Structure 1
Amino acid sequence: MNYNIPSHLIGLSEEELAQSRSQFGYNEVEKSKSAKWYQMLLDILKEPMLILLIAVSIIYLIVGNYSEALFMLGAIIAVSAISFYQDNRSKKALEALEKLNEPLSLVIRNKQVLSIPTHEIAVGDLSIIEEGKMINADGKIVHSNDFSVIEASLTGESYSIFKSKDTEDRNVYSGTLVASGLAVFEVEKIGANTKIGAIGKSIKDIEAEISPLQIQITKFVKGMAVIGVVVFLMVWVFSYFQTGSIINSLLAGLTLAMSVLPEEIPVAFTTFMALGAWKLMREGVIIKRSNVVETLGSTTVICTDKTGTITENSMHLKQLYDFKSDKIYDDKDFNEPILNEIISYSMWSSEPVPFDPMEKTIHKVYEETQTVDLRPQFKLFHEYPLEGKPPMMTHVFKNENGELIIAAKGAPEAIISVSNLSDNQLLTLRTQFKTLGQQGFRVLGVAKSIFTGEQFPEKQQDLEFEFLGFTIFYDPPKKGINDVFQKIYHAGIKVKVITGDNADTTHAIAAQAGIINEAPAVNGTEIMACGKEELVVLSNKTSLFTRMFPEAKLEVVKALKQNGEIVAMLGDGVNDAPALKSAHIGVAMGNKGTEIAKAAASLVITNDDLDKLIIGIEAGRRIYANLKKAIQYIISIHIPIILTVSIPLFLDWIFPNIFTPVHVIFLELVMGPTCSIVYENEPMEKNTMLLKPRKLTDTFLNWKELSISIIQGLVITIGVLFAYQFTVNNGGDEEKTRAVVFTTLIFSNILLSYVNRSFYYSIFETFMNKNSLLFGVTTAVLVFLMIILYVPAVSEFFKLSALNFNELIFAGVVSIVSVGWFEIYKFLKRQKS
């Protein structure tokens, strides 16, 4: 891009850069040290399940059961290894998320404008900053155009401050945001020496808000932990009165406590969210906080900007309307002499160093059509920034001879209202730009003024303007955008377009993009005039919001939230930032989005493709559904373990201690990978994106879902205890009974993991969903089971005997009946729906 930088701004030479780097270093703050592997391991060993395992190991050592103690040591290593793998995997995923692409900064070196990684900014550099960008070093302004900055990160004040090299305060600071215009500043401080670096308050120190799901899961796990403690004490006391042995009763209590504690649930939550965010990052969707994934699947309304989000933001200057000749000229006729004036004044009304796509186009057309380029002769002398509702802007240029050029451009309504026009002319022009807007064109009015006084009026609207015509841009909808909106509507999500453009243009583009609209467009002024209740109703029924300014956008988002909607706000401009911050999910565009928008957003789409948001919503729904499956699986399989351990003890059956800690920990080792690794890898069910979004306030398991899991667990318990009594009644000793019960529970566990892949589709349909991890874990568990049953040394250790073919079939049949009944329930559910 040609920034038309003044010739006296040279920047650092290579030699000066090397000297600066040697003296001041790089523009980076010391990063906080990540946790070492041994710190992670120590944290894992503090987990309740590991503490129980260590306690059991110590007891086995005390009583001289060294083989059991060795096994428990192996279990500690195995559980720690699984937890360490999961924690490390989650940690690496989160670290990858934190490594958002380092922003590039513009600097002038040896008269050349260079784009460099921000950490390479050096003291003495001339840094270029423009609207929507974050300032990445401290320094003093040496050149500026219409420049204002928001210093809320330092002062807490959110209003913008105009600065230039001539203002009393010409300092700019790292971490602040450019609200408008462009400036070049000389870098004076970098890294930790900047004002914000000295404060030392990194964003990493701010604790992330805990999500509703996280709160619900934490409460559930804490509740189960309390129950575990109570049950442990009950069993310990009860067993002691029965046996008189403190050690045996303590082992019985610890066994039951291990079976109650659902330590897999928080691990599963962390794993699902972190890996979900990491997978999305690989798709080009950067999630700033992993728990945003949870919210994505609940989105009920998408509020989207038009320019650059629905449209390509290419802003091709398609036509020019010349007021004097009352004629529209196509782009092939731009060299016509009659158009010189409107082209020139369009350019003069733009920024001298353009950053807006329309202004870049205007400068390019000026270069291509004008025989003499007057830009080097005229310098910006006075400016009125973009303001007003609808907005306009005015620039005053002056040459060495004192000649002035005063040019204005802005919304057609704004420009014609300040121009010297008759009522008939106003009516004709309004009809003209309305017709153009209905065709999907973006129209700007252009005017010029002559001023002979010495003191410019405070407001640009007080100047006397001569209307010159319209610049007519066309910004087409993105390719494939219709399909994107169809997917959004099929998912039960509403779409609202919130734009600064006029109603006619917005209506035309919305129709071309396939956006459903059944109500008149509402503008920003009307929004601000509404009461709160009225605005909730209006925002619910309206799809197109036009001539919107930041405050109005924010009010619409607030109203939708008040109405119970989960709002995703898409935007890329400075004026989108308040709404992005307020929405449940602020979505910024990665390529064309401003730094302000990215800073306010919780999600960034790297390639500006709206279809990526659909991928994010799909991921959110898949992850939430799979997390629920994992938790329901954990609840269902814990119930038979708990009851199989406790019922024989409390009812004084013939073999009261049918399971010891050795058996329970093996089952825990099976459940851990199944719930947190296997279910996380489960693909999305085919009907997921055709369902209505879930309410964010819903509990992760409602009573119906919880009751289903409890019933599944109780039925499996009945099957396992039936296998117990059947074996005993047929002459089975303790080892044979234990083998049948243990095998039945393992088979039920495996079948449950397959049946619960869907609570709607049959097990045969879900076999079509590829999940290699599930088949891998199944194979591994069956191999270990065969080793336990048929390798004598291992069988002796587990205190069970080998099963013959009929006994294996019996265990398998009991498992199929105990778990398979749920397929009948799903069949009836499908028939009903």
Structure 2
Amino acid sequence: MPVTSADPIIDEPYRQTAEEVVAALKTQPQSGLSLTEAARRLEHYGRNELDAVPPRPQWLKFLDQFTDVLVLLLLAAAMISAVIWLQERDTTLPYEALAIFAIVILNALMGYIQEARAERAAAALRQMSATHSSVIRDGDRRSIPAAELVPGDIVFIAEGDTIPADARLIESTSLQTVEAALTGESLPVSKHVAPITGTPELGDQHNMVFSGTTAVYGHGSAVVTATRMRTAMGRIAGMLEKAPDEITPLQRELDRVGKALAVTVVVIALVMIGTIFLVSDISGFSEIFDVLILGVALAVAAVPEGLPAVVTAVLSLGMQRMAKNKAIIRRLAAVETLGSATVIASDKTGTLTRNEMTVRRLITASGGANLSGTGYALHGDIQLVGPQSRGEPLQFELTRALTAAERANNAVLQERDGNWSVQGDPTEGALIVAARKAGLLPEVLDARFARVGEVPFSSERKLMSTVHTDAEQPERLVAVTKGAPDILLARCTHELVGRDAVALTEARRAEIMASNDALAQEALRTLGVAFRSLPTDRPDHDAFEEDVEHDLVFLGLIGMIDPPRQEARAAVARAQAAGIRSIMITGDHPVTAAIIAAELGITSGGRAITGVELAAMTEAELDRAVQEVCVYARVNPEHKLRIVKALQRAGETVAMTGDGVNDAPALKAADIGVAMGITGTDVSKEAADMVLADDNFATIVAAVAEGRAIFSNIRKFLRYLLSSNIGEVMTMFFGILLADVIGLTGAATGGVVLPLLATQILWINLVTDGAPALALGVDPADKDVMRQPPRPRGEGVITGRMWVGIFFVGAIMTVGTLFVFDAALPGGMIEGSGTLAYGQTMAFTTLVMFQLFNVFNARSDERSVFHGLFTNRWLWSAVVLSLLLHACVVYTPFLQDAFSTVSLNTGDWLFCAAVSSSVLWLRELSKIATRRIGGDTISAGVSERSA
């Protein structure tokens, strides 16, 4: 839609002040756009997305189904068959040509529908994993999809966020962004809010942030100036190449298996064609044509060329189920890897716990206080404890400690429909709630202590500081700091005792650390708070650095708890039963971590390794430690990478969680990187294979179970398709090779001697390889899927034992079909009295029923077919549909002519069913043997992993 003069578009916003840009865009920094205006602008400007490559027309996608060489050969065969019919006119209609053409069209339709379904599933997943942005609208801070941003929106930018649109900065606190995607500059660029004169290059517009770049340090807010193709990224979008479709290792392996089968089948077809020419009296072009078309039909039937589409559809549908259960898979390959995970290395806060911090204890020089209430609701009291619990000094100390905690804070406490929530860090939210319980109101604190600077938290320092003016003492600035007590205390020289700052002695430092350890013994997470006064005439008044975090006055310790999730303990036990070891990685105190880990069942009294210990370990020492230790405390994100690599060297398949910018290397290195959907940064989500929408450990375990189920279902339909197709090939091959033995030669009246016709083989492929195979792809998960050991690392999708079962079933089909064929014909090993058409119809029906019985076998290589026999209603529906379609071919006159079939009586059907059911009983016997041989090994494997 064209832009009108009434639309707020700003040229060169970097030249103007932030206030001028905000005014020109008709918005407000405090309240943002109204919901009505935002909706109007969204309709006018369109969604904040780069113009996509025009979608391929549906009719072209349908024509793509006919590009396979074998399919083209079939079409050519149908045309030749029609030409021969025009010359000979031996039937009313060209039934063979019509049958081949109809089957090719139906196959194409099935392939097209499967691919369309996979595309829709993938599109839905992309929508689920879309980037969100924090904005203010109608005065409320909220998270919206980045695609819904419009010019004039006020966006908040935090460390790790991907910038969603071009925007002019309004506030910047040590904000740095990486703009390599636009400028090629790999170093972070510092941002400010001052106007820029001249005509700077894109990389020198330091008061602007650009779509597609990443914030790596600090935070700020900005007003959106351009979206969609008007952004700097949009202007160079023409140079961006369309990303290729993702090909997973599983699909590559299936492609390799398919090609190997194709070569094998082509060789067999050539041998078969040669054999037919040798053993049959072939004369005339039409008979030669019949032999050649048989070879093509056999190749089409035997090669599972539709496997990639079926696999993609099954993976995508499985991913949608995961997404509904809060696990959003970003890469198809992760589904395969999930089933073989042997270790889940998880953050504690928010993943194993609720991430709803609640302050329980405060300890200062004169005593302490206990706080009641849970979560972020402002319900609860403060009870003073200690020898001076009724004294004014303790009250003053607690007020100062909570004031410092509330001010050194970037979280926002919100109430909506009676529910309280926190935008920002949960720990900071808990501090705000504690301050409110103490009667410290935000308007009072804002009036006295206005923020003028910040030194952002970093995982290296484990501290965060803010600097404020003091309206009651305008001659000074106040710096307040919160962070890890041991690190903070080392930077303190004094302690607040009553209203006085008293020098810290070594004895007093030891007492404070003993109090800190006592809180940790109660599984409380501890924070220290401190302050110092600064002169107002500092030369670097606008650029505060880490030097403000020295010579501090210690205010006190704050103990808070993030209770374990109720479902986490059950999830840990479930993972253990599946042979998966759970590991906790946290920045908390090692005692706290050990207590929570023991409560969750991750470890029972085992030791915790700290980041300091880990850093001092050699590679060999760490390799030994990771095989025993399940708890890592006080670790930096950089330590995660070492832990991942050590676990992988030990042969483990690792799922690793993370949420910060610095977690990205570990998430990339892990076999399955898992990012937090609620607290995670955009950088961590981009690096991850999976995003947890609820940040819940139980969701990871559930996703592993779903991943195992999906992989199991892929194996099910592979087992079914390959065994059925091999049964067809072997039936044709040995039927021709043993034509004299089974009475086929005697029943023939001359010409080509075949147990099944080409159209019959194609029909079997269409009816039995379609709906039943897809139904196996959505088979319900086995109840004991999480009682089995993980799939060995590097194990192929088709194992040696699977191949044995596949050929065993193929052999049963071959023997049984040829037995029925022989019994239907005069002569051979079993005397019959039927015509060749009757014998072929009997063999045709038997082979179809063999495959329909086999579909139940294929659900497991070990479990009895009668276990959960009726749990998959889609499978039963597919089998009934296939039988009805085959009955149409047997009894409908038009289809009888097309497929050269004759009507069968009830006895014939019962005979075919009895023989074809043998694949069920014989496979059951082989499964019993497999269970007896392999049962002890499986149980031992699970026990070993759990230990």
How far apart in 2 are the matches of 1:485 and 1:204? 43
Alignment partner of 1:370 is 2:440: yes
Deviation at 1:236, TM superposition (A): 4.0
Q: Is the 8 A contact 2:369 2:382 kept in 1?
A: no
Number of the residue aligned with 1:727: 824
Deviation at 1:774, TM superposition (A): 1.7
AA paired with 1:432? S
Cα distance change on mapping 1:51 and 1:327 into 2, 3 Å: same
Identity %: 28
Alignment of 1:440-451 (within 5 A): 440-451=523-534
Cα distance change on mapping 1:180 and 1:438 into 2, 3 Å: farther
| C-alpha RMSD over aligned residues | 3.1
How far apart in 2 are the matches of 1:831 and 1:115? 56
Deviation at 1:632, TM superposition (A): 1.4
Q: Is the 8 A contact 2:465 2:549 kept in 1?
A: no
Q: After superposition, give the CA deviation of every residue in 1:270-289 in whole Å (9 maximum; x if it has no partner).
A: 22212111222233322222
Q: Is the 8 A contact 2:352 2:568 kept in 1?
A: yes
How far apart in 1 are the matches of 2:43 and 2:808? 70
Deviation at 1:627, TM superposition (A): 1.2
Cα distance change on mapping 1:557 and 1:197 into 2, 3 Å: farther
Number of the residue aligned with 1:469: 556
How far apart in 2 are the matches of 1:257 and 1:434? 73
Alignment partner of 1:136 is 2:164: yes
AA paired with 1:129? I
Deviation at 1:13, TM superposition (A): 6.6
Number of the residue aligned with 1:100: 128
AA paired with 1:802? S
Alignment partner of 1:702 is 2:799: yes
Q: Is the 8 A contact 1:391 1:414 kept in 2?
A: yes
How far apart in 1 are the matches of 2:845 and 2:596? 64
Q: Is the 8 A contact 1:272 1:676 kept in 2?
A: no
Q: Which of 847, 867, 871 pairs up with 1:745? A: 847
Cα distance change on mapping 1:196 and 1:566 into 2, 3 Å: farther
Number of the residue aligned with 1:333: 382
Cα distance change on mapping 1:16 and 1:304 into 2, 3 Å: closer
Alignment of 1:576-725 (within 5 A): 576-651=663-738, 653=740, 654=745, 655=748, 656-725=753-822
How far apart in 1 are the matches of 2:148 and 2:889? 61
Cα distance change on mapping 1:722 and 1:102 into 2, 3 Å: closer
Number of the residue aligned with 2:263: 226
Q: Which of 497, 513, 517 pairs up with 1:430? A: 513
Alignment of 1:26-425 (within 5 A): 27-64=48-85, 66-100=94-128, 102-108=130-136, 116-151=144-179, 153-154=181-182, 161-165=189-193, 169-200=206-237, 205-207=242-244, 210-240=247-277, 242=280, 243-244=282-283, 245=285, 246-323=288-365, 325-330=366-371, 332-333=381-382, 336-351=395-410, 355-367=424-436, 368-370=438-440, 373-387=444-458, 389=460, 391-399=462-470, 401-420=474-493, 421-425=504-508
How far apart in 1 are the matches of 2:411 and 2:846? 79
Cα distance change on mapping 1:344 and 1:93 into 2, 3 Å: same
Structure 1's unaligned 5+ residue stretches are: none
Deviation at 1:455, TM superposition (A): 5.4
How far apart in 1 are the matches of 2:647 and 2:238? 34
AA paired with 1:333? I
Alignment of 1:508-523 (within 5 A): 508-517=595-604, 519-523=606-610
How far apart in 2 are the matches of 1:792 and 1:208? 46
How far apart in 2 are the matches of 1:23 and 1:830? 65
AA paired with 1:418? R
Cα distance change on mapping 1:739 and 1:10 into 2, 3 Å: closer
Q: Is the 8 A contact 1:577 1:597 kept in 2?
A: yes
Q: Is the 8 A contact 1:633 1:675 kept in 2?
A: no
Q: Is the 8 A contact 1:321 1:471 kept in 2?
A: yes
Q: Is the 8 A contact 1:384 1:395 kept in 2?
A: yes
Q: Which of 901, 907, 922 pairs up with 1:800? A: 901
Task: Provide TM-score, normalisation by structure 2.
Answer: 0.81
How far apart in 2 are the matches of 1:13 and 1:719? 75
How far apart in 1 are the matches of 2:731 and 2:38? 74
Q: Is the 8 A contact 1:394 1:460 kept in 2?
A: no
How far apart in 1 are the matches of 2:615 and 2:624? 14
Cα distance change on mapping 1:267 and 1:691 into 2, 3 Å: same
Deviation at 1:351, TM superposition (A): 3.7
* SS of residue paired to 2:782: coil
Q: Is the 8 A contact 1:450 1:464 kept in 2?
A: no
- Give the aligned length: 826
Deviates more, 1:448-457 or 1:687-696: 448-457
Q: After superposition, give the CA deviation of every residue in 1:780-819 in whole Å (9 maximum; x if it has no partner).
A: 2222333333445543443233334444333233222344
* SS of residue paired to 1:373: helix
Cα distance change on mapping 1:35 and 1:611 into 2, 3 Å: farther
AA paired with 1:135? I
Structure 2's unaligned 5+ residue stretches are: 1-21, 86-90, 196-203, 373-380, 385-394, 413-422, 494-503, 936-947
Q: Is the 8 A contact 1:12 1:108 kept in 2?
A: yes
Cα distance change on mapping 1:825 and 1:507 into 2, 3 Å: same
Q: After superposition, give the CA deviation of every residue in 1:313-334 in whole Å (9 maximum; x if it has no partner).
A: 11111121112x1445445337
Cα distance change on mapping 1:25 and 1:796 into 2, 3 Å: closer
Q: Which of 925, 943, 947 pairs up with 1:824? A: 925
How far apart in 2 are the matches of 1:116 and 1:212? 35
Deviation at 1:161, TM superposition (A): 4.7
How far apart in 1 are the matches of 2:534 and 2:715? 70
Alignment of 1:504-583 (within 5 A): 504-517=591-604, 519-583=606-670
Cα distance change on mapping 1:735 and 1:13 into 2, 3 Å: closer
Q: Is the 8 A contact 2:165 2:227 kept in 1?
A: yes
Cα distance change on mapping 1:346 and 1:195 into 2, 3 Å: same
Cα distance change on mapping 1:236 and 1:144 into 2, 3 Å: same
How far apart in 1 are the matches of 2:546 and 2:179? 25
Deviates more, 1:214-223 or 1:737-746: 737-746
How far apart in 2 are the matches of 1:52 and 1:609? 53
Deviation at 1:411, TM superposition (A): 0.3
Q: Is the 8 A contact 1:20 1:124 kept in 2?
A: no
How far apart in 2 are the matches of 1:543 and 1:305? 12
AA paired with 2:351? T
Cα distance change on mapping 1:18 and 1:585 into 2, 3 Å: closer
* SS of residue paired to 1:444: strand
How far apart in 2 are the matches of 1:24 and 1:809? 68
